[in-house]
Amino acid sequence: MLKQLTINSFTLIAEASVPFHEGFTAITGETGAGKSVLMKALRMVCGDKSQASMVRTGEEKAVIEGTFDISNEPEVKQILAKLELDDDDELIIRREILENGKGRARVNGSVVSLSDLQELGESLIQMHGQSEQLLLRDIRTHAKMLDEYAGNNELLINYSKSYNAWNNVLAEIQKTEAHAKDLAQQKDFLKFQYDELSKAALRDGEEEELEEKVNVASKSEAEHNLLNEIQGLIGCDNGILEQVQNLQYKLRSLAQKIPHYEEDLNALVEVADPFEGICKDLQRLRPSKSMSPVEIDRANSRIATIQKLKRKYRTDVAGLIALTEQRKQELDSLENLDADLDELKRKADAHKAETYRLAASLTEKRKEAAQRFDSAVQEILHSLGMPKAKFFTSITEQDPTPNGADRIEFLLAPNPGEGEKSLQKAVSGGELSRVLLAIKSVMAELDKVPLLIFDEVDSGISGETGNSIGEALRNLGKHHQVLTITHLHQVASRAQNQLAVSKKEVDGRTFTSIIDLDKNGRIEEIARMLGGTSETVRTHAKQLLENNL
């Protein structure tokens, strides 16, 4: 419940600290006194957008602070926990509005976004004004109200699970069918790529291994060729060694005839011996070939194939191997998609049957509850100045939605012979206020929002109807904290508490004040509402209060 509202420099209110109490509180005052300013301040606590015009002239900022007791409000505490905010039994919401219209919102000292504040505000306060009957103008709330009245929460949870499961499978079917269509269109392309890549039988690291082997083989081939050339120069026909041997033979023949050539012969023998050693060493050290020419050609061809595939698919060998596996899986999945689709459709049919079964149960419970609900709301409307009004809940079949297969709408026939009207547009604000009051009265024990605010719910009403509205609000105050702006003494006298809003001019400035009235103050205020300040009127006001205490 709202415990206190502190307001500083907010339009006509320079400073106010307003206490609030349990039960039904009437807010009264002359027209134009500033009751709407108080309502606007409460809306700011709920997350309304700020405007520069809200800051009192001459001030830098306006401040509104609401203090709530949430010791018995588990849903509010859940929201605070979700927002990672302090969730003690006391909740303080503070709005600061700067003179440029910008502002800040804090909850228990922590800055929060406007959307988070609005979510929190919706769990704390419901505001119902003649010009903004959003709750009943929105047809989506009609189903929510009826389900809450019928106690359909568990059934709705089960239905929602089945509906979501059904739609998830339908989405999977759609995705699978689109995938199958896409793969079917690409089947020839996918098969060509897979055949080409799988035929290549690529192995990670193979290219590097082949290049290393070819490099080694190329060096070995060059070595063999040079050795062959060297041996050819030294030991082959007409090679160096053979020519030296011929030279030795000729010198030996010459030395036999002419002895002084013996020295030249010996020198030539010393020259010839190293060439023989070189030939033997080269033959002994000659390495065996690592690869044959055919093998080298085959390796180079393999390297060329790998490089061609890399260029074609613009990736490395690891990427080509991964692509091969991907194409295989895609082709395999194309073969298995029909079976997968059959299984998904079987699941969809099962979820659909369960969804429709639960939807039928919801419809049955809603129709049964609607009869009781309509009768109860209509009975209260008759006591609220609408004696011939007829209230009716329309339940028509529609395709399943997250909330069932029913279109639910509240309809009202305010007067005989006019027919039923939609609450969305056709019903007036005053009529809608009373419908809302009647619904809130019927659902008082079920509604979890702690504070209900009705802005001039009694507009255009007088006499005995005013008494009925006051009594309805008083009864509603047994289950909620209720605030109502009223101009009727019949309504105000039935409130447990009363706030008086007044306006005065001081030194050319207008000031609105809000006073929590004691018993004597209430007598004076109700006397004013009765239209006089004589002792007789005061006595009548006192009697009204005492009769309703």
Do 197 and 329 sit in the same domain of this protein? yes
Per-residue model confidence (pLDDT) at position 235: 63
Task: List, for residues 306-348, the tens digit of each pLDDT value.
Answer: 899 989 989 998 999 999 999 888 777 767 777 888 889 999 9
Do 95 and 203 sit in the same domain of this protein? no
State percent of the chain over pLDDT 90.
Answer: 45
The arithmetic mean of pLDDT across residues 470-480, rounded, is: 90
170 pLDDT tier (thresholds 50, 70, 90): very high
Among 314, 336, 358, identify where a domain stops: 336
**Least confident span in 92-96, 284-288, 297-301:** 284-288
Q: What is the dihedral of CA 26, 31, 35, 36, to 10 degrees?
A: 130
Per-residue model confidence (pLDDT) at position 140: 85
What count of other Cβ atoms lies within 10 Å of the Cβ of residue 270? 8
Per-residue model confidence (pLDDT) at position 447: 77
Kindly state whether residue 283 falls inside one of the protein's structural domains.
yes
Per-residue model confidence (pLDDT) at position 328: 85
Please name the residue that has the structure tokens 């509202």.
5
Kindly state whether residue 213 falls inside one of the protein's structural domains.
yes
Residue 334 C-beta-side C-alpha neighbours within 13 Å? 16
The arithmetic mean of pLDDT across residues 281-296, rounded, is: 65
CATH number at residue 482: 3.40.50.300
Kindly state whether residue 404 falls inside one of the protein's structural domains.
no
The CA distance from 335 to 191, in Å, is: 12
Per-residue model confidence (pLDDT) at position 209: 83
Q: Is the pLDDT of residue 236 over 70?
A: no
Q: Which residues pair with 486 in a beta bridge?
A: none
Do 187 and 270 sit in the same domain of this protein? yes
25 pLDDT tier (thresholds 50, 70, 90): very high
Q: Which long-range contacts (CB under 8 A, 24 or more apart) does 162-171 make?
A: 162/351, 162/354, 162/355, 162/358, 163/355, 163/400, 163/401, 163/402, 164/402, 165/351, 166/348, 166/351, 166/352, 166/354, 166/355, 169/344, 169/347, 169/348, 169/351, 170/348
Who contacts 6 (Cβ-Cβ below 8 Å, separation ≥6)?
16, 17, 18, 63, 64, 65, 66, 67
Do 332 and 461 sit in the same domain of this protein? no
Determine if residue 35 is left, alpha or beta; phi over 0 gives left, psi from -120 to 50 gives alpha, anything else beta: alpha
Kindly state whether residue 125 falls inside one of the protein's structural domains.
yes
Higher pLDDT, 236 or 362: 362
The CA distance from 262 to 391, in Å, is: 148
Do 463 and 320 sit in the same domain of this protein? no
State the amino acid at position 358 in one-letter form.
Answer: L
Instruction: Taking the CA atoms of 461, 465, 467 and 471 in sequence, report the sign of the dihedral they define.
Output: negative
Number of domains comprising the chain = 3
The arithmetic mean of pLDDT across residues 487-501, rounded, is: 93
- Residue range of the domain that includes 306: 180-336
Do 247 and 303 sit in the same domain of this protein? yes
CB 268 within 8 A of CB 248: yes
Do 511 and 529 sit in the same domain of this protein? no
Do 238 and 321 sit in the same domain of this protein? yes
Task: List, for residues 351-373, the tens digit of each pLDDT value.
Answer: 999 999 999 999 999 999 999 99
CB 117 within 8 A of CB 93: yes
Kindly state whether residue 374 falls inside one of the protein's structural domains.
no
Please name the residue that has the structure tokens 């060729």.
225
Per-residue model confidence (pLDDT) at position 130: 55
Retrieve residue 496's tokens. Answer: 């447990």
Do 209 and 97 sit in the same domain of this protein? no
Kindly state whether residue 478 falls inside one of the protein's structural domains.
yes
User: Across the chain, what does the average pLDDT equal?
Assistant: 86
Task: List, for residues 410-454, the tens digit of each pLDDT value.
Answer: 999 988 877 888 887 766 766 777 888 888 889 887 878 899 888
DSSP per position, 464-499 = HHHHHHHHHHHHHTTTSEEEEE---HHHHTT-SEEE
Kindly state whether residue 398 falls inside one of the protein's structural domains.
no
DSSP summary character for residue 132: B
Do 121 and 45 sit in the same domain of this protein? yes
Higher pLDDT, 306 or 272: 306
182 pLDDT tier (thresholds 50, 70, 90): confident
CB 85 within 8 A of CB 108: yes
Per-residue model confidence (pLDDT) at position 257: 78
Q: Is the pLDDT of residue 113 over 90?
A: yes
DSSP per position, 345-398 = HHHHHHHHHHHHHHHHHHHHHHHHHHHHHHHHHHHHHHHTT-TT-EEEEEEEEE
Instruction: Taking the CA atoms of 8, 14, 15 and 16 in sequence, report the sign of the dihedral they define.
Output: negative
The arithmetic mean of pLDDT across residues 103-108, rounded, is: 93
The CA distance from 536 to 524, in Å, is: 12
State the amino acid at position 192 in one-letter form.
Answer: F
Q: Is the pLDDT of residue 407 over 70?
A: yes
Among 308, 336, 364, identify where a domain stops: 336
Higher pLDDT, 42 or 140: 42
Higher pLDDT, 133 or 509: 509
Among 285, 317, 336, identify where a domain stops: 336
Who contacts 324 (Cβ-Cβ below 8 Å, separation ≥6)?
194, 197, 198, 202
Is the pTM value of this prediction over 0.85? no
**Least confident span in 173-182, 254-263, 386-395:** 254-263
Do 114 and 224 sit in the same domain of this protein? no
Do 21 and 129 sit in the same domain of this protein? yes
Per-residue model confidence (pLDDT) at position 63: 96
Burial of residue 281 (CB within 10 Å: 0-12, 13-18, 19+) is exposed
501 pLDDT tier (thresholds 50, 70, 90): very high
Type and span of the H or E element at 451: strand 451-455
Per-residue model confidence (pLDDT) at position 19: 96
Q: Is the pLDDT of residue 508 over 80?
A: yes
State percent of the chain over pLDDT 70.
Answer: 90
Kindly state whether residue 354 falls inside one of the protein's structural domains.
no
State the amino acid at position 166 in one-letter form.
Answer: W
What count of other Cβ atoms lies within 10 Å of the Cβ of residue 283? 11
Task: List, for residues 52-71, the tens digit of each pLDDT value.
Answer: 999 999 899 999 999 999 99
